[in-house]
Amino acid sequence: MKTIVLTILSAFFLLAGLAIAQTDYNSSPYNYKNSPSNHENSSTNYRNSPYNYDNSPYKYNNDRIIRDNQGRAQGYAVPKDDGGTNYYDMNGKRQGYKPAEED
């Protein structure tokens, strides 16, 4: 009886772990869509560059700029084609990303 219970519990935890791993892959840096090695995510891509006026804190009412509590620009967010967002500091170094929301 103990063997059956242990087998069932082991199978449950294995399947639960696989389910978590599958959902986490969408937000994993090992997923090429999110990788800094992907040109779409690189600051060498002009769309993500700090030299792009759309990413500039000097652009009036720029909704891409991330500010601290004192209103100083700390970084910027660039929407990705797949619906996600890349986050960069003001020097263009990629700080993170948010994957596209799944339905």
Per-residue pLDDT at 18: 47
- Statement: the pTM of the whole predicted model exceeds 0.85: no
HEC profile of 22-61: HHHHCCCCCCHHHCCCCHHHCCCCHHHCCCCHHHCCCCCC
pLDDT, tens digit only, all 103 positions of the chain: 666 655 665 655 555 554 444 457 777 778 888 888 889 889 899 999 999 999 999 999 999 999 999 999 999 999 998 888 999 999 999 998 888 876 4
